[in-house]
Structure 1
Amino acid sequence: MEHADVAVIGAGQSGLAAAHALSQQRLRPVVLEASGRAAGSWPKYYDSLTLFSPARYSSLPGMAFPGADPDRYPHRDEVVAYLSAYADRLDADIRTGRRVTAVRQAGAGFEVEIEGGGRLAARAVVAASGSFTRPHRPALPGLEGFTGTVLHAAQYRHPEPFAGQRIVVVGAGNSAVQIATELARFATVTLAGRNPVKFARQRILGRDLHFWLRRTGLDIAPLGRLVRTPPTQLVIDDGHYSAALAAGRPDRRPVFTGADGARLLWPDGSREKVDSVLLATGYRAHLPYLTGLEGALDDSGLPRHAEGIATRVPGLTFVGLEWQRSLSSNSLRGVGRDAARIARRLAARLAGW
């Protein structure tokens, strides 16, 4: 059986940042990616997706985001190209088309099983597979009996197929507002949610919000952890989205209270025929390959960890979890800091072998 210092599961932004950090610690990572390319979930996001952080704050360690204007907001395809180029420059063994099906303990280390029968022995494991393949679909009143179309934002690409429809977008975060506003140019759209939409100004005193997040420490540990449970997610806005909601395109309502066939029931007692409900309700960590590793996950399938270090499985770590250590833990701008910390911890652990 082949052996590696560390098996890194996933070659998106988290896995690539982990591979870079491990190499800096003179460890030999093998990166196992289920898809055919090292770009993570980015190629699957909707066509118009644009980062809310400028290029200067959207880099992984060791390679600046390219382009003449560091203050622009890169779009999806730029991020895909950046991650592909980053992977090409890494001094790491990245293997695409290698879906990990199970991780098992083997002595003081691990045995990683790969779809198709492959196996890899590793002294440590970094789970960096993200959450895009596990869209969160919350229980909403009557939605199971709704006879219209129900889809998640993970299935949304562009607005043209929805032209002329009556659509309800559920959510109150950046993606929900961005998608609902885009759809409202082609359809009649309501943005529905349990919480109000809260906007944060994209530029303050001439500086992008992320400048201030970094300057104040809110974007990094430990200060960021003090506000890890805000009442609602903030939507970063240059004025475009708040103006669209103020104009009623899309309009904003509390979430519906039930469904009757293709009709949704609203809190004011009205009923309305709706063609499609789009859930922009986020994602959850997707770690099915750890289910057989005793103590790795809790009863909900979420990782048991303290700032990315598994609490019950020595040698198992995580990179890219939401709020792993800070506000920016699962973002391009922040994942490198967490990866570096994990790499240092693993290097110290493996030095004793």
Structure 2
Amino acid sequence: MKEKKYADIIIVGGGPAGLATAYCLQKLNIDCLVVEKNKVGNSWGNMPKYWRVVSPQWTNMLPGSGFPYSSPFSKPWVNSYREYLLQYSKINSIKVHEEINIYNVLQIDNCKKFKLTSDDLDFECKIIVSATGYYSNPYIPSLPRGDDDSIRSFHVSEYFSPERLKKLFPHCTKILIVGRRVSAGQLLTDLSKHDFSLSISARGSVSPRDGSFKGKIKDFIYFPYEELKVKLNPNIYADSFPHMDGGKTEELLKEKIVTVHSNIVGIRDRHVVFEDGASDKFDLIIYATGYKPSLAYLKDIVRFEDDGDMPIIKDMHCSDIENIFFIGLDQIYNFRSRYLRGIRKDAVVLANDINVALRKIK
């Protein structure tokens, strides 16, 4: 018989969203436990070696961390942010069960509690917080004309560095990147420093941010402006998907060092067919096509929207099941909710909402 653990609140996910929520609950003297299927901050440790967090450090600090006076405007390396998460968990004595993969959730005790099932342990709680985010569920779109597997391909979540890529694919020279957002731009910058022939395929135009001095000043001003905008209207919703960085990426595209293709529609005989009818041969395809919410463990209990990806959520509350909450998903409180700068604020609001819900249960 499996061992059983109990806490008033179980938080599924040991990344920034889960840790920030746990910290805020602890400050309210609420018993909570974080369950993480890998190690704390694992997703950040698996990100590409030379990539940085996309927002300045002062916007990335989780509740209780204070202001980073030594380097408020720097954009930290992803691995250093992972180290920050490990220290945050340790310093704040957050209770975490690592390497526990929750694969199912059910209501028990006349719907007064939840049972969370894993291979090793079962957990019971009164309230669940889903903080599993996106990174463990990479998305590769299906192609209208099919893929005969004649070209090696993988998702950007499996990419680590140009050096490792060269070791894995020593004869690879011509690479197609599929996507047009931040990850696609970071890939272009990373790989352009090595002797690869690069192309990009996108659904829609490829438009990097302005990398000029004027553009950098605009970026510098944007984050304080955004803070003020959200303070005045906390539930504001807007487009939350940023363009790829300017600078080097912008230069590569302007000087046509990178070939831009229309949307990919099929792969046959080592050739990629594009929407505009063009075709070209490639050695490797890297999909920078984003992620879907990582919520498979909730499929048996929560009602999802028509696309099957997102639960029906209102202000971080599950709309049809009481005492299930979400954090770190797109637009669930405002347009920043999927990003670090939104998560750190949403966690405070969520902890207060959970406090109210817990009092009603008791």
TM alignment of 1:87-126, pairs within 5 A: 87-107=89-109, 108-116=112-120, 118-126=121-129
- The residue aligned with 1:50 is 52
TM alignment of 1:292-307, pairs within 5 A: 292-295=300-303, 300-307=308-315
Match of 1:22 among 22, 25, 28: 25
Match of 2:227 among 214, 226, 234: 214
Shift of residue 298 of structure 1?
6.0
Indicate the structure with greater strand content.
Answer: 1
| Deviates most, 98-107 or 61-70 | 61-70
Q: Check whether the contact 1:23–1:91 (CA below 8 A) recurs between aligned residues.
A: no
Shift of residue 78 of structure 1?
0.9
Pair 1:154-2:162 in alignment: no
Task: Give the distance between the partners of 2:64 and 2:256, measured in 1 at CA.
Answer: 44
Match of 1:193 among 202, 209, 215: 202
Q: Check whether the contact 1:13–1:40 (CA below 8 A) recurs between aligned residues.
A: no
Percent identity, aligned pairs only?
Answer: 23
Match of 2:179 among 151, 171, 178: 171
Shift of residue 51 of structure 1?
1.6
| SS in structure 1 at match of 2:6 | strand
Match of 1:74 among 56, 76, 91: 76
| Deviates most, 135-144 or 72-81 | 135-144
Shift of residue 301 of structure 1?
4.3
TM-score by length of 2: 0.88
Shift of residue 85 of structure 1?
0.5
| Deviates most, 4-13 or 86-95 | 86-95
What is the identity, as a one-letter code, of the residue corresponding to 2:114? F
TM alignment of 1:231-310, pairs within 5 A: 233-237=242-246, 239-267=247-275, 269-295=277-303, 300-310=308-318
User: Cα gap change, 1:199/1:3 in structure 2, threshold over 3 Å: closer, same or farther?
Assistant: same
Task: Give the distance between the partners of 1:244 and 1:67, measured in 2 at CA.
Answer: 34
Task: Give the distance between the partners of 1:168 and 1:148, measured in 2 at CA.
Answer: 10
TM-score by length of 1: 0.90
Q: Check whether the contact 2:137–2:291 (CA below 8 A) recurs between aligned residues.
A: yes
User: What count of residue pairs does the alignment treat as equivalent?
Assistant: 346
Shift of residue 56 of structure 1?
1.4
| Deviates most, 159-168 or 189-198 | 159-168
| Deviates most, 9-18 or 181-190 | 181-190
Deviations 1:151-187 (A, max 9, x none): 1001111123347511110111011111023223321
Pair 1:32-2:35 in alignment: yes
Shift of residue 269 of structure 1?
4.0
Pair 1:132-2:135 in alignment: yes
What is the identity, as a one-letter code, of the residue corresponding to 2:70? A
